[in-house]
Amino acid sequence: MTTAKPSTGASPRIGSKDQLVAYLAAGSKPKDAWKIGTEHEKFVFCRTNLKPVPYEGAAGIRTILEKLSIETGWDIIAEDGLPIGLKGEGASVSLEPGGQFELSGAPLDNVHQTCDEVHRHLDAVKKVCDPLGVAFLGMGHAPTWTRDEAPKMPKARYDIMRRYMPKKGDLGLDMMHRTCTVQVNLDFASEADMAAKFRTSLALQPVATALFANSGLVEGKDSGYASWRAHIWTDTDPDRTGLLHFVFEDGFGFERYVDYMLDTPMYFVRRNGKFIDAAGQSFRDFMKGELSALPGEIPTMEDWEDHLSTAFPEVRLKTFLEMRGADSGPWARICALPAFWVGILYDEEALGAAWDLAKGWTREMREQLRGDAARFGLSADIGGRTLQDVALDVLAISREGLRRRARMGNLKEDETTYLDPLVKIAKSGVTMGEYTVDHFQNDLNGDVKKLFEECKY
């Protein structure tokens, strides 16, 4: 068993903002070294009562982690002696606040490898969980559970967030405990390449939101949104969420993002394996030795890494770019997300064509689209066009980018095959979130058991 990274404060101290800029810049890689890292979350439920699985118990989250460690050979990650994740093969499993299981995949060369990784993981958890009467649900929001029904995982950082979130928005606790997403992490070659990819993916993130919308049901009822998960993010914490309009300004680069993060209130500081509550305090003060949670202490680069992980914009910059706009969903759509963004961002011609679609949108148009994509899905409009039409254009651009990459899989197919589920959705104009609401209310007559059986992995 391994413990969570202790962060003793022994890493290099931060003496200037230049170090923080250099940290981000160090993520730049030549094109032949670009990788694909895919993350996906899923709900864990009991197949008899259809309720979320608690941490403790014979079929609880802790038991699942311990058995999954034996099954996979991955090491257990512990906090205060309690298993909170697994690590192996360049990847990890972690727990979200409400017990959502997240696979953070290894950096891989192509989408075929990502799909193989997801398949191995889902096979392993199914092998472990079937005898326990437990299954995993792939949706963007828990379709029937209340906030109070969601379990709480024994991670100290989440306790800090639970206390702080209600001070900043009405739906932060729902984000923590009742949502699941799929993300992809992608590389950049330089500051200019980062900026081009950031602004393009940020502008088009609502397209992904609509294509992957899969959270129309909330507590068994129609939420009125194609993606309630995406709507939740609009009322979570304005200090650390949203579309970051400064990314579209001339001169945007690593330093501007550092300034944004320095102005983003902190959550915590880790010392000797413990989490110190610094919620709402300033990293700028920390750099001056004036953090009230640790007076007189200067932050380390590990503290900066931690702080970077506490902002949640639609696209997030670390030493790579994270695409954050999609709901979780079926197995095929886990593979579709990296394919969608790799086709756009890893091909220079595709990147330029995608930006041409969005470069005329104003700040107001982008903000309107963010909310409308969550509510109306592909029926939203932007610049006199439906989001459905825009999505079809973006998918065509992505397909051509993937075609030019020409990364072949075992079945002699390139990566374009993973876009097929998205093309089907885009052509229909009906998101999975909207379809599921109608299917549940009409075809399934509100039968929750049938819904869970259809949507489980």
Tally helices (H) and strands (E) across the chain.
Answer: 17, 18
CA atoms of 384 and 125, how far apart (whole Å): 46
Residue spans of alpha helices (H) in 224-323: 228-232, 254-263, 283-287, 301-308
- Long-range contacts of range 77-82, CB-CB < 8 Å, 24 or more positions apart? 77/1, 77/2, 77/3, 77/4, 78/1, 78/2, 78/3, 78/4, 79/3, 79/4, 79/154, 79/155, 79/156, 79/273, 80/154, 80/156, 80/273, 82/154
pLDDT tens, the chain, 457 aa long:
555 555 555 688 999 999 999 999 999 999 999 999 999 999 999 999 999 999 999 999 999 999 999 999 999 999 999 999 999 999 999 999 999 999 999 999 999 999 999 999 999 999 999 999 999 999 999 999 999 999 999 999 999 999 999 999 999 999 999 999 999 999 999 999 999 999 999 999 999 999 999 999 999 999 999 999 999 999 999 999 999 999 999 999 999 999 999 999 999 999 998 999 999 999 999 999 999 999 999 999 999 999 999 999 999 999 999 999 999 999 889 999 999 999 999 999 999 999 999 999 999 999 999 999 999 999 999 999 999 999 999 999 999 999 999 999 887 799 999 999 999 999 999 999 999 999 999 999 999 999 999 999 9
As given in the structure block, the two tokens for residue 287 are 């750099």
Reply yes or no on domain 2-455 having CATH 3.40.630.20: no
As given in the structure block, the two tokens for residue 315 are 């696209």
CA atoms of 177 and 310, how far apart (whole Å): 16
The secondary structure of residue 14, as a DSSP letter, is P
Position 428 scores a pLDDT of 98
Position 134 scores a pLDDT of 98
